[in-house]
């Protein structure tokens, strides 16, 4: 068994596509109409094309409550890894990404948290691989 698709709840798929591609650098893998929404998946240019991030519309009322509850509690919905968090932090800040926390050491990792403009917090992590 392996990871195939993971999703992030988004309020607006087009806004999410722009943020995740133009700011974070992900690439669109699939963009197909499905009723009033789209099956819109992204892949990392640095990772496997087999692992996709689904930009999933938050149209289901309990999903909206879940998303808002995580945000209000300061809990990131996803975590993305980088080899150089300080460089990535500076790059993203330069692109206007709003960070809730600067890079900080937490045991064997350095983390920072940013807003994705879609109602979510996302954690950026650099893991000490010694």
66 by Cβ neighbours in 10 Å (0-12 / 13-18 / 19+) ranks as: middle
Q: What is the pLDDT of residue 59?
A: 87
3-state secondary structure of 9: strand
pLDDT number for residue 50: 86
pLDDT band for position 130 (cuts 50, 70, 90): low
Summarize pLDDT for 64-75 with one digit per residue, the tens: 999 999 999 999
In whole angstroms, what is the distance from residue 14 CA to residue 5 CA? 19
Evaluate if pTM is beyond 0.95. no
Q: Where in the chain is the domain with CATH 3.10.180.10?
A: 1-59, 74-130
Which of 59, 84, 74 lies closest to 9 in space, CA to CA? 59
Tell me the C-alpha distance between 64 and 86, whole Å. Answer: 32
Q: Is the CATH code 3.30.1490.480 the one for domain 74-130?
A: no
Residue 45: count of CB within 10 angstroms of its CB:
10
Task: Say how far apart CA 66 and CA 30 lie, in whole Å.
Answer: 26
Query: Over 80: is that where the pLDDT of 120 sits?
Result: yes
- Classified as helix, coil or strand, 97 is coil
| Mean pLDDT score, 44-50 | 86
Q: State residue 22's pLDDT score.
A: 97
> What is the CATH T-level fold of the domain 1-59, as seen in this structure?
2,3-Dihydroxybiphenyl 1,2-Dioxygenase; domain 1 (3.10.180)
């Amino acid at each position: 068994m392996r990871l195939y698709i993971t999703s992030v709840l988004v309020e607006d798929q087009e806004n999410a596509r722009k943020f995740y591609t133009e700011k974070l650098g992900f690439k669109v893998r699939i963009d197909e109409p499905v009723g009033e929404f789209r099956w819109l998946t992204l892949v990392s240019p640095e990772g496997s094309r087999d692992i996709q991030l689904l930009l999933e519309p938050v149209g289901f009322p309990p999903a909206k409550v879940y998303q808002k509850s995580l945000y209000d509690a300061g809990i990131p919905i996803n975590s993305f890894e980088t080899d150089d968090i300080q460089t990535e932090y500076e790059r993203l800040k330069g692109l206007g990404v709003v960070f809730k926390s600067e890079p900080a050491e937490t045991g064997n990792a350095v983390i920072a948290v940013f807003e994705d403009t879609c109602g979510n917090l996302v954690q950026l992590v650099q893991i000490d691989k010694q």
